[in-house]
Amino acid sequence: MQVVGIDLGTTNTLACYFQRGKKKLLKFPGEVMTMLPSVIFTDEDGKVIVGQTAVNKGEVDPSRMIRSAKTYIGNFELNKTWKHGKKIYTPTDVAIEVLKAVRERFVKVLKLDENEEIGAVITVPAYFNDNQRDETRKAGEAAGFRVMWILEEPTAAAIEAVHEMELEKKVLVVDIGGGTFDLSVLEADHENNTYEAIAIDGDDRLGGDDFDEAIKQEFIRHIEDDTGLKFTDAKSAGLPEDRYQLFMTSLLKAARKAKETLSETTETEVNVPNLTTLGGKDYSLDFTFTRKALEMTCKPLFDKIFKQINDFAKNNKKFKLQDIGHVILAGGTCFIPRIREQIEKDLGIKPDDDLPLSQLVVSGAARVAEGRASGLSGDGSTEKPIKVKSILAHSLGIEILNKQGALVFDKIIAKDTPYPCNVEKEYVTTFDNQTQIEVNVYEAGKENERDLKFHRFRGSLVLKDLPPAKKGKTKITVKFAYTEDQRLMVSVIDKQNVHNAKEAFLDKTAKSKPQVSGAEPVDMVLMLDSSGSMMGSDIAQAKAACEKLITEMIDLNVHRLALMNFDSYSYMLCHLTNDPNALTKKLSKIEATGSTEMVGAFRAAYNELANSTRRKIALMVTDGYPDYADETVSYVNSLRKKDLTIIAIGVGKGFNKSFLDKMVGAKNAFTVEKMSELSKIFKHVMNAITTGNL
């Protein structure tokens, strides 16, 4: 089997392989033949073009070009897509097209059969989360590779550096690519070819693209000063949209060129003739841009990078700064002189500068690919097997209900834990007679923060058939097990019956947040107005909507519901229960008659909920006003101060919502014109309740 190492970069992609024992970089058509721009372009016929040709075409028609897609891969919260014609591309789709181009080129250069199996080690930033790693793996497989390993970029860089320079001691790798920033400390045992990650950190939203954008914005400020125009959008610039996009694309290209040039010199002439037409005249950009100006322009980015490096190197409990023997720079952004100079000044260690920064990652990946192919390359040369011990970039845990009734993140497996690993934790049920538990798995985005908004949803497992018991009595074990190739197996086990268990690999990454079925259980009284004005089709339609609420909209495995109706009197038909049959049986017997006496109805609802330790809700449906409006409003407002949520739905064309607003608050008041619309509003209200928005 032929094998290849691939550095799937935000800006450029590189591939490396061994032939007759010698390392070779795969060459592509383009300006820099060892780099394939990670760019795709779709022509009018829907044909996908990849690489330098895509860049060239995109400079003429930027609306059909996609670049820097890796920035968004695996981030389903952003849900970034591009629409070209009838085709919608996700970041993973773009990665597939780029990797397909790599495979086609590899097959052509090595004169392989198109169907030959090709093993690949694909690198990712160390700080990538599981979703991002999984999507990268899927892209590689969809492109036709056998993905042997998803390898961290700093680890790959360290492997190459240690091999070339025969380094010992701990190695700090600073890897700043086009869209990501990684820090990693590794223990290298050159003699035994073993590499063990000790600690990692980084930012998957910071890289060379941010420097390019900052410089571009500085160029725009220069043009605005020169012309007196604003360039915040096409309209303010006085340009058609297509010419405005061309203008921005040309500026970005000039910014990137200036950044690269100023890595070698202290000043450069920024010259873009005939950049655009302004006021009927051709406008050319022509001025001197210095390294000092670049450093001032990009100061916020430098500050962010250096603060993170210093915090990581000086305050990490996994290692001591004095244990670091070498600092290795990787990634194209590390060519910027300020980065090298400031690291040496801050850490007191001069970065090793005898290595090709842009090739370290892909060369290391190729070595690992050779090693994983049983130590034998396809043509008889041998590479000593490489042992890589990676660690988790992020902690993992689950969603739990705390003592205050809030859903929070509870850590099970800690950041920097080595792969493979197996960690379990015991939990108990949170409410009486709970017969199922939904385990929502999250990956930490911000360490030691319990608020779920700081974390990424990974997926869910539901364990059913738990024995009914008082809350806290039923015990459940949640187990996280990572395999050596970094696949996560989640298990949920009923400790009362170990044969009742659920387990699954969370490889199919969750593309949306969990549907909250109410992990925070609620007790609710459904209050149905059955006064005489409801007689006929209205009461029938209301009962049908209530039946849907009971059987389809509320999870009675989690919540409890009571049912009552009211006319001249109040009738508690069914006390709080988890039994939908008991509720629907009583619902069917309701008939319309009498007046609308609400005070007694709300008093009965409050009494029903008085002893509940859960969140308490009264949900009322009415088609008219109460017998004693002022008294009702006053009484309901007093109940709202007693930890009771009251929601009112008024039905009828002439229903005055302002009355309900006054009684229960505008957020909790709803109106519909027809009773046939009640089911729709029930669905909206129940979703708001279970997601905590009411």
pLDDT tens, 583-599?
Answer: 999 999 999 999 999 99
What is the distance between the alpha carbons of residues 398 and 119, in angstroms, rounded to a whole number?
35
Mean pLDDT of the chain: 89
pLDDT surpassing 80 at residue 539:
yes
- Residue 29, SS3? coil
**Largest distance between two CA atoms of the chain:** 95
How far apart CA 21 and CA 38 sit, in angstroms, is 28
Task: Give the residue from 381, 446, 309 showing the smallest Cα distance to 17.
Answer: 381
Q: What's the CA gap between 386 and 373, in Å, rounded?
A: 10
Return the minimum-mean-pLDDT range out of 24-28, 211-215, 437-441, 448-452.
448-452
Contact present, 209 and 71 (Cβ < 8 Å):
yes
Long-range contacts of 568-572 (CB under 8 A, 24+ apart): 568/531, 568/593, 568/594, 568/595, 568/597, 569/594, 569/597, 569/600, 570/597, 570/600, 570/601, 570/603, 570/604, 572/604, 572/608
Higher confidence at residue 619 or residue 685? 619
Q: Give me the torsion for CA of 577, 579, 581, 582, rounded to 10°.
A: -30
Checking if the pLDDT of 434 tops 80, the result is no
CA terminus-to-terminus distance, the chain: 59
Q: Can you say whether the dihedral through the CA atoms of 24, 27, 33, 38 is positive or negative?
A: negative
Q: Is pLDDT above 90 for 480?
A: yes
Q: Which of the residue ranges 288-297, 476-485, 523-532, 552-561 would you say has the lowest mean pLDDT?
A: 552-561
> What is the rounded distance in angstroms from the CA atom of residue 677 to the CA atom of residue 690?
21
d(CA 190, CA 479) in angstroms, rounded, equals 35
Is residue 58 a contact partner of residue 11, using CB atoms and an 8 Å limit?
no
Rounded Cα gap, residues 69 and 527, in angstroms: 52
Rounded CA gap, 256 and 215, in Å? 8
- Predicted confidence at residue 436, as pLDDT, reads 82
3-state secondary structure at position 509: coil
In the chain the domains, ranked by start, together with CATH numbers, are 2-207+303-389 (3.30.420.40), 396-505 (2.60.34.10), 522-690 (3.40.50.410)
CB-based contact 288:300 (threshold 8 Å): no
pLDDT for res 237: 87
Structure tokens at 84: 């070209």
- 380 dihedral zone (left: phi>0; alpha: psi -120 to 50; beta): left
Task: Say if residue 392 is exposed, middle or buried (CB neighbours under 10 Å; 0-12, 13-18, 19+).
Answer: buried
Q: At residue 215, what is the residue type?
A: I
Placement of tokens 């990137």 in the chain? 256
pLDDT of 158-182, one tens digit each?
888 888 887 777 899 999 988 889 9
Residue 304 phi/psi, 5-degree rounding, is -65, -45
CA–CA separation, 694 vs 681, rounded Å?
13
Say what the pTM is: 0.69
Is the pLDDT reported for residue 381 higher than 60?
no
pLDDT per position as a tens digit, 114-163: 999 999 999 999 888 888 888 999 999 999 999 999 999 988 988 888 88
Burial 464-496, CB ≥16 within 10 A → b, else e: eebeebeeeebebebbbbbeeebbbebbbbbee
Whole-number pLDDT of residue 424: 95
| Whole-number percent of the chain with pLDDT over 70 | 95
What pLDDT was estimated at residue 483? 86
Tokens of 624: 């008219």
Q: What is the pLDDT of residues 100-112, one digit of tens each?
A: 999 999 999 999 9
Average pLDDT (447-460) is 84
pLDDT digits (tens, 9 = 90+) for 311-325: 999 988 899 999 898
Residue 405 backbone phi and psi in degrees, to 5 = 85, 15
Q: How far is CA 72 from CA 8, 122, 132, 206, in A?
A: 13, 17, 9, 12
